[in-house]
Amino acid sequence: MGNALQRLIGLLPKEAEFIGTIQYVDHPNYKVLVVDGTGLVMCTSATKYALDARVFVAGNEIKRSAPDGPVLQIDV
Band of residue 21 on the pLDDT scale cut at 50, 70, 90: very high
Q: Is residue 7 part of a domain?
A: no
**Is residue 46, in this structure, part of any structural domain at all?**
yes
The pTM (predicted TM-score) of the whole model is: 0.75
- DSSP labels for 14-69? SS-EEEEEEEEEETTEEEEEETTTTEEEEEE-SS---TT-EEEEETTEEEEE--SS
- The residues, ordered by sequence, that sit 6+ positions from 53 with a Cβ below 8 Å of its Cβ are 21, 22, 65
Specify if 34 maps to a domain.
yes
Q: Is position 73 within any domain?
A: no
9-13, 25-29, 72-76: least confidently modelled range: 72-76
Domain range for 24: 16-65
Question: How sure is the predictor about 9, in pLDDT bands with cuts at 50, 70 and 90?
Answer: confident
CATH number at residue 37: 2.40.50
